[in-house]
Chains A and B, each alone.
Chain A
Amino acid sequence: MPSQWTSEQVLALAPDAASAKNGRGLATLRKWSSLGCSSSVVWGECQGSGNDPYRTQIDVSEPAFRCSCPSRKFPCKHGLGLFLLLAEQANEFAETEPPAWVAEWVLSRSQRAEKQAAKQAKQQEQVADPTAQAKRAAARQHKVSLGIQDLRLWLEDRVRQGLATVQQEAYQVWDTVAARMVDAQAPGLARQLREMAGLANLSAGGHARLLERLGQLYLITEGFQHIDSLPLEVQADLRTQIGWTVSQDEVFNRKPHSDLWLVVGQRTEVEDRLRIRRTWLLGIGTATFALLLDFAHGQQPFEHSFLSGTCLEAELVFYPSAYPLRALIKTRQEAVLLSKQPPGKTTIAEAIATYSHAFAVCPWLEQFPLLLQAVVPFREGDHWLIQDAQGAVLPLSNRLEPRQAWQLLALSGGTPLTIFGEWNGDDLLPLNVWMEESLYGLG
């Protein structure tokens, strides 16, 4: 089987650094026997410490992993080792008839896909009791409006007393009002208040930044007070900000967007014990960005794996918003690889104009996808920046580790490269870089 994956792409799938290290240790032919492949499935047996070797298999089209080892990591080190072996020594995998243990998995996977489709269809037919549903919704609406009235009072008190003393305040001041918002079933507002508590301790420019956030929070409460008079999409954005969730079924009923979606970037962040993964897609045909959010608790694996640089032929459905980004995959075909440079040609000025437009229709955007072709990274004192051919510069985020920044510079060598990253209005956090047809992950 010819392989198009690079080691970096494979290692980006590792759930943690230890798995990456162990997986790399297993990426040697001597550890493996009965390597083979058939269509999109590869397999091999890895000798572990026990008597029986572990049976490891990967469906690279998704990619999906399965291994007989008892590890709870996903993918486990054997899965990563086998994938690395495929990336580095693909000619060792001969196309052959799959053994029984592989054939059975392939069959069970296709059956499961059918079952899921059936389940989805069935769920859509089921309609919950509409009266009970309406009653629950009205109760929440009431709770939230009471909470929002409290929040408005609290916010007004803040500016009446002045923000000068905010740094001396205990965290509890913020926590109490955040807890009140949780009680009022407005978790989105609670989250923003807790973020602001961290901001209040910043010195230079901290007060101005805090005032921005307080003002924007006030704007949400203002909008909520006459939410019914607003356009539907704006209503949806406000409700998302306050903490309403839209059920997946509801989203699945929306208009599907079919395209060839390129995985342009991925980043996982941890909030308390919850891991949140953002996967950014770019529709090749429509030049639309989409964001897939996945959540996992603690060490639990994410349900799907996505490889940066691969293309999925899929139908996406978008969550309602004045500037729709968040989406779900409704149906998908097997993954096709494309590690060539992503299409299009955007200057920094054009990219920022797109952001400005998006921000004007939906001022709640936290991360905005920017794909910039032909930018050159450089250093100015302790700061890293990128510049395009027109001379426009954007600052890079200080969340970029020094090693990653230097890697970016090494890849560029002073010549232009393509960067995908998240823009937050102040700085850009690069996630992926394309140089000479090759993709490099910095996430």
Chain B
Amino acid sequence: MHVISSPPPDQASAQERLRVALQDGLPLSPRPYQALAQQCGISEQDVIDALQTWEQSRLTRRFGIVINHHKIGYTSNAMVVWEVADSEVNRLGAAISRTGLVSLCYQRRPDGPDWPYNLYCMLHGKSREEVLQRLQRLKTQCGLQDTPCAVLFSLRQYKQCGGRYAHKRPSAPVKEAL
């Protein structure tokens, strides 16, 4: 008989119910995990254990608030994309991340001759000038002055809600994406 590595069905569905319950956010009551437990038909300790396991296995990045960065004054953001040699991606990705000047840094698949960019980062600031100054510092610190790049400032936000990973439809933001 082979070993079944996935959780038994009832446990799996409890975790699924917990994810669904969390899509609307953590209840704002003194014992939020108990409130979730009641919704899911499990114990408070089960909820706490599940969340700790998710965190340890890095199923969740973190637990906390999603802020509307526009509202606290970070109204300017630029996605900066670089065309770097494949052999340099890891070094530059790490270097950019270390500067503390960017919010995100990803390697992405380039898309033909019109879009050769493979290294992406996001710069946030309270004005366009601040973002451009950050970009200048980034270039200097990482030796990116001569690297082909494009700077894409956001003009309008048409939608910002959530990715859905559980079988229900209200919001659960994916902030990790650019």
A binds B: no
